[in-house]
Amino acid sequence: MAKILLLLLLICSGSAYAQYDNKWRITKPHWTTQDEERFAEFISYIGAAVNRRECGTVDSCLKNPLANPYAGTDPEELKLFADCADLPYYLRAYFAWKNGLPMSVQDDMAPREPNDKKDVRYTKFGNYVKSRYDIVAGRWRGINAVDVLNEAIIDKTYTASFRVMGTEDRGLFTDFYPVKLGRDSIRPGTVIYDPNGHVAIIYRVSDDGRIYYIDSHPDNTLTSGMYTPKFVRSTPFQGAGFKNFRPLALVDAKLNSSGEYIGGRIVGAPNSSLPLFSIEQFYGNQPDPAGDWQKGQFLFHGMAFPYYDYLRLVMARGDLKIDPLVDMQQNLVDICTTLKDRVTAVSTAVKAGIDLKDHPERLPQNIYGTDGEWETYATPARDARLKVAFMDLLLQTKQLIARQRSGDPMIVYAGTNLPADMLQVYYREAGACQFSYANSSGVMVPLNLEVARHRLFDLSFDPYHCVELRWGAANPQELATCLDTPVKREWYSRERWLRYQWERRYDARMDYSLEELDGPKPGAGIAAPPDVDVVRFLTYGR
């Protein structure tokens, strides 16, 4: 019923006729608060469907009436494809088309610092906007929505587009602006930028302050997750964190007899007119007097909290109360979702036959940011986020136990042995998190979350390895079906230092040959993996 009501609302907006062909008719010259609310609803439906696993790719979700109220209205030639950086733009443009709204994207980025010679996706001090692409109708030529979505959005947007602070200190206006930390501003449709090269879009915020997102990948798959420290903070000019699309307006256009705006140009609302604009997430609500972003404090009722704890406090409805057992269960469900999504990613590489190919003579220049088969089928960044999730699980467990023992009134627990109860929750959820992969002989191999934790640093991110090694198999029986040559096995052995590394480094050289990969290199690999043994801690307290 809610889906039908939303569709009726969209139809009653007066631009429903724009849904059924490939012409993008601008019938509303600017985005209103109501448009933003409806865009948020649109994203929330898609995200909920992904989370329920009713769809798992951009095309399947947009064709699914349970996920997309416009399903069935698209021209056949629309590709419905987007990777992680494209996804927010793609969904925003799709919604704008269906509702007769204006759209513009920044299509050329440059480093803020002229001596920053890095790829603009990974600049040290962020970027500024050099040029923009306005989607407006000409007098003799309309807007072809299929061309815009199939080509312009995909070709002109990339993670460099998000690597801006959004304070309009240089260049043209930015597509996004940083927002206050709170439920009014961080909502479905808000974008999350990870400066390590990933982008997600929020679809739900729970009453207890948890933030849930969807993200896309080079193989067009959609996944869902929960916001945690796997999304890092960084120097403000890199623009990490939460940002909303800047409201746009079409000016100097002519309204024709059919109610369509022709010509004109698109302008973005200045930050001074945006009540939700804030740089608080970069510098804290009590900034460091010297301007050091890392020393800014996040104060809640006069008390300083770490950033991620503060964020949850201000995102919760009412006074936040944390049940450590529920908290652990939520974290484990999130990890389980990530593991199940990894099954799809690995199987996609296997179906493409990448594991049957000879291993390239060298790794990519950087395993986290490249192109071709490696970008589409390798999983180093995905696996790094999984490692951070397990590390954060252990850290959160330690902190919650310490807070409960100190009498923190925010912690709600009625039992007598919190570590033992948390361990029981862990075993219950880890055992319930069942998934499997098809080995090289096509036989299903069952795994669960606890097995994955033990294998965490043995999971191969390299798509040229057999599926058994992709899942960290070590025992001879499970490995017996692997067809990898001795050379490939040696690549697996020597990549272990890279597997130990949880920090995604885009500034490090990694294009080593097999012979050169004889140990950790500067920025590429570490000598030993970090601790993720939450079972040992809960059992022995260490």
Q: What digits encode the pLDDT tens for the residues 18-35?
A: 446 899 999 999 999 999
CA distances from 308 to 12, 114, 194, 232 (A): 41, 33, 14, 10
CB 520 within 8 A of CB 379: no
Q: What HEC string does 314-375 produce?
A: HHCCCCCCECHHHHHHHHHHHHHHHHHHHHHHHHHHHHCCHHHCCCCCECCCCCCCCCHHHH
Q: Which residues touch 344 (CB under 8 Å, ≥6 apart)?
A: 56, 221
Domain ranges of the chain: 2-283, 324-540
Neighbours of 293 (CB within 10 A): 17
Determine the 3-state secondary structure of 141 from DSSP.
coil
The whole model's pTM is what? 0.90
> DSSP H helical segments within 380-448, as ranges?
380-405, 418-432
Determine the 3-state secondary structure of 28 from DSSP.
coil
CA distances from 453 to 368, 397, 449, 533 (A): 22, 15, 6, 8
Task: Please work out, in degrees rounded to the nearest 5, the angle formed at the alpha carbon of residue 514 by the alpha carbons of 511 and 519.
Answer: 80
- 484-490-491-493 Cα dihedral, nearest 10 degrees: 110
Separation between Cα atoms, residue 368 and residue 374, nearest integer Å: 9
Predicted local distance difference test score (pLDDT) of residue 141:
78
Determine the 3-state secondary structure of 295 from DSSP.
helix
Structure tokens at 330: 């939520």
Predicted local distance difference test score (pLDDT) of residue 15:
43
Q: At what angle do helices 380-405 and 324-351 cross, to 10 degrees?
A: 170
Q: Which residues of the chain, if any, have pLDDT below 70?
A: 1-20, 140, 169
